[in-house]
């Protein structure tokens, strides 16, 4: 599969709207997590909520697309000159040669959840109009983004839970490698909804405090919401390009909601990313962990890291800033990797007070200066869907 040149990328989440604000929050160690006050959810937990989505002006001509998920997608697209970069790609390749592949776990399900609250008390009929296809259906987000950007290329959604917006890069490789597209808008968008808040709570996976990944006293995840996008094209010879060198995918086939305890699927995803990039493990300067603060997941990921890298691999989890953004986690943390390479720093692990003594990796708690050249970013989802992205500069790469 071809290497992907990252022409532009952007991230919006509870810690910041756009890359500059997000980078400031990362450097200043400002978390976007706060006690859950989402709708009337009665849950003792913290969430990463993007402020202002409910009151954001919404154009009348886009009324049929109005839902929290598409509002966050719209806000994300407006950042970092992303629309202009896509316009430039259209001028170079044509409107039919630019595809859209987005990841999401629940899409705009909140729109339907709220509609059920307004059912006719006599008939149970849902309110009209209920725009299911343009709000709730899994492909509504990529359809919305394609319409918003005026594109005509292939479009589809990937929904493999928390690995969704990592796997979109593998799809982009295939679309470009097969000659179907010259450029692809990839990314993910997932927003807060009652299904995920109560669902993860019922599984006893949500923490009553801001998540503490890798901490021996970690008590669960903090759910967040985010939108992120990248415009990718086939690689060029420009040594300054930021690239996705390789994508590794695997499936545990072990349990619906629990990873293999030895992290065998996670290990295989990381090994496949290295193999696809034709790199050895010692080429990786930093690993951005999936690192949810789940007791089982963090331990399994550490075992997988030790199997691939040996003890002492530099790594951290950044979910203390954003929360676990589920279907948008892959793109959010890919952007963090890109910011680390471009701006010369390695983020630490927010909220974590000490590292679990059973872990063998070099789990960084504090930010540190440095200039990582190559970053591995992990996203592991329910059902054992695993994805690892290897990205960075081409410096020293044949």
What does the pLDDT look like over 242-290, one tens digit per residue?
999 999 999 988 888 888 989 999 999 999 999 999 999 999 999 999 9
Beta bridge partners of 249: 387
Residues that are catalytic: 162, 290, 324
| Helices and strands of the chain, counted as H and E runs | 12, 17
- Could you read off the pLDDT of 121-131 as tens digits, one per residue? 999 999 888 89
Instruction: Evaluate whether 23 touches 9 at the Cβ level (below 8 Å).
Output: no
Q: Using alpha carbons, select from 58, 54, 57, 33 the residue that is nearest to residue 45.
A: 33
Question: Is a pLDDT exceeding 80 seen at residue 65?
Answer: yes
| pLDDT at 179 (0 to 100) | 97
- Does residue 377 have a pLDDT over 70? yes
Residue 329 and residue 379 in contact, taking contact as beta carbons nearer than 8 Å: yes
Q: Is the pTM above the cut of 0.85?
A: yes
pLDDT value of residue 2? 85
Tell me: the pLDDT tens digits for 190-228? 999 999 999 999 999 999 999 999 999 999 999 999 999
Q: Residue 247's beta-bridge partner residues?
A: 389
Residues 364 and 346 sit within 8 Å (Cβ to Cβ): yes
* pLDDT value for 378: 98
Computed over every residue of the chain, the mean pLDDT equals 95
Q: What value does the mean pLDDT take over residues 60-66?
A: 96
Instruction: State what percent of residues in the chain have pLDDT above 70.
Output: 99
- Which positions ≥6 away from 276 have C-beta within 8 Å? 1, 245, 246, 247, 248, 390
Q: What pLDDT score was predicted for residue 257? A: 81
- Is pLDDT of 395 > 80? no
Between 394 and 162, the more confident residue is: 162
pLDDT confidence tier of residue 396, bands split at 50, 70 and 90: low
398 confidence band (pLDDT: 50, 70, 90) = low
Res 338 pLDDT > 70: yes
Unique residue bearing structure tokens 């960084």: 364
pLDDT mean over 138-161: 97
pLDDT at 130: 86
CA atoms of 333 and 184, how far apart (whole Å): 19
pLDDT band at 384 (very low <50, low <70, confident <90, very high): confident
pLDDT over 80 at 239, yes or no: no
Taking only the tens place, the pLDDT of each residue in 315-325 is 999 999 999 99
What pLDDT, on the 0 to 100 scale, is given for residue 240?
77
Give residue 397's pLDDT: 62
Chain-centroid distance, C-alpha 140: 18
> 56 or 383, which is more confident?
56
Give pLDDT, residue 235.
Answer: 84
Q: Is 161 left (phi over 0), alpha (psi -120 to 50) or beta?
A: left
Q: Which of 309, 375, 304 is nearest to 346 (CA)?
A: 375
Give the helix ranges, DSSP H, for the chain.
19-28, 68-77, 82-93, 109-117, 132-135, 140-149, 164-177, 194-202, 264-277, 295-309, 319-322, 329-343
């Amino acid at each position: 599969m071809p290497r992907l040149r990252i022409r532009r990328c952007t991230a919006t989440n509870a810690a910041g709207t756009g890359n500059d604000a997000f980078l400031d929050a990362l450097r200043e160690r400002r978390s976007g997590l706060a006690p859950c006050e989402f709708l009337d959810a009665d849950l003792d937990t913290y969430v990463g909520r993007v402020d202002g989505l409910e009151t954001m002006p919404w154009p009348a001509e886009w009324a049929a697309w109005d839902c929290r998920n598409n509002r966050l997608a719209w806000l994300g697209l407006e950042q970092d000159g992303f629309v202009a970069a896509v316009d430039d790609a259209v001028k170079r390749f044509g409107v039919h040669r630019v595809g859209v592949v987005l990841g999401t776990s629940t899409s705009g399900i909140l729109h339907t959840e709220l509609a059920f609250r307004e059912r006719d008390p006599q008939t149970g009929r849902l309110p009209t109009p209920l725009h299911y296809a343009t709000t709730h259906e899994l492909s509504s987000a990529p359809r919305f983004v394609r319409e918003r950007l005026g594109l005509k290329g292939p479009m589809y959604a990937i929904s493999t839970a928390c690995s969704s917006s990592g796997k979109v890069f593998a799809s982009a490789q295939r679309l470009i490698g097969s000659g179907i597209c010259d450029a692809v808008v990839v990314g993910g968008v997932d927003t807060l909804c009652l299904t995920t808040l109560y669902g993860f709570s019922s599984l006893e996976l949500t923490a009553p405090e801001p998540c503490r990944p890798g901490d021996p006293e970690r008590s669960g995840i903090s759910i967040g919401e985010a939108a992120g996008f990248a415009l990718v094209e086939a690689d060029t010879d420009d040594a300054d390009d930021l690239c996705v060198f390789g994508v590794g995918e695997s499936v545990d086939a072990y349990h619906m909601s629990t990873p293999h305890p030895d992290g065998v699927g996670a290990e295989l995803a990381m090994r496949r990313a290295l193999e696809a990039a034709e790199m050895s493990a010692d080429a990786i300067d930093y690993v951005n962990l999936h690192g949810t603060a789940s007791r089982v997941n963090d331990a399994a990921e550490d075992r997988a890291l030790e199997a691939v890298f040996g003890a002492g691999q530099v790594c951290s989890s950044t979910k203390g800033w954003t929360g676990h953004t589920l279907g948008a986690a892959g793109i959010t943390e890919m952007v963090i990797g890109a910011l680390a390479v471009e701006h010369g720093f390695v983020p630490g692990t927010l909220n974590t007070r000490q590292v679990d003594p059973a872990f063998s990796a070099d789990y960084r708690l504090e930010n540190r200066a440095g200039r990582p050249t190559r970053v591995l970013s992990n996203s592991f989802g329910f059902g054992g869907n695993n994805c690892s992205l290897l990205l960075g500069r081409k410096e020293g790469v044949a």
